[in-house]
Amino acid sequence: MTYVYALQNGNVTVHYENEAGETIETAKEVAKDVATGTAYDTTTAEIKKDRIQTADGKVYKLKEVKAGSAAETGKVSDTPAVITYVYELVKTPDNSTPNKPIPEKPEIPKPQEPGTPDVPNPDKPTPQPNPEHPSAPTPSPELPNPETPIPEPTPEPDTPRPETPVSPDPEAPTYETGKREELPNTGTEANAGLAGAGLLTLLAGLGLGFFKKKEDESE
């Protein structure tokens, strides 16, 4: 007689619970109907999660492996292996919407209506006028009107200045004085020239007469 045996399959499942034993995430089937003797490992980051956030915004942190769980690593057997990870609550959300903070609406200042007086700021005191030392208003400079022509200044007539007579320097000879001083010398030089010319004429006449007389004697 021969007995025939069929290879059995096995399953490996991981559960996620909080400290109260409530399921916080859907269980993960690591191995389903897998031949026995197949190796499995539930310590990977995809299976053994460090943190879990639920749909209501609560965040849980891995605390421990629940007592009575199967080994985290091993081989599939015909007995189902169940590993349960326990998580503890670490944060409670402030609002019902998970991971979506409500933005604050900025305050938009309302425009002031025309004719409405300004409301004084209580934090900023209004300066009071000092009666003993009143502040003098600062005059604003007047700008010339471009349409009004600016009159040109009238030139004042030149006032004739009296001429101061210049007294001649007795030591410096003037033109008239030099002329008077040169007149006697000029006359003397003229007389001497006339005398020389007359002497030459006389000598020339005597010479002509001497040669004429000599010609007469020779004839």
Tell me which of 32, 56, 91 is where a domain ends. Answer: 91
Tell me the pLDDT tens digit for each residue of 81-104.
999 999 999 976 555 555 566 667
The per-residue pLDDT of the chain, averaged, comes to 75
More confident residue, 209 or 40: 40
Instruction: Establish if 78 belongs to a structural domain.
Output: yes
Confidence (pLDDT) at 21:
94
- Structural tokens at position 79: 């007995």
**Mean local confidence (pLDDT), 178-183:** 48
Q: What percent of the chain has pLDDT over 70?
A: 50
Residue where one domain finishes, among candidates 91, 108, 140: 91
Give the count of domains, the chain.
2
Answer yes or no: is 100 within a domain: no
**Per-residue pLDDT at 113 exceeds 70:** no
Within 10 A of 41 (CB to CB), how many other CB atoms are there? 12
Residue 147, domain member (yes or no) = no
Q: Does 85 reside within a domain? A: yes
Q: Is residue 47 part of a domain?
A: yes
Q: Supply the pTM of this predicted model.
A: 0.42
CATH of the domain at 72: 3.10.20.320
In the block, residue with structure tokens 């005191």: 125
pLDDT at 27: 96
Predicted local confidence at residue 183, as pLDDT: 45
- 140 inside domain: no
Q: Where are the beta strands (DSSP E) in the chain?
A: 9-18, 23-35, 39-41, 51-53, 59-65, 73-75, 81-91
Inside any domain, residue 166:
no
- Out of 59, 91, 123, a domain closes at 91
* Cα-based torsion angle of the residue sequence 205, 208, 213, 219 in order, rounded to the nearest 10 degrees: -160
3 state DSSP class of 28: strand
Decide if 217 is inside a domain: yes
Q: Where in the sequence is the domain holding 37, given as residue range(s)?
A: 9-91
Q: Which of 33-37, 139-143, 167-171, 208-212 has the lowest mean pLDDT?
A: 167-171
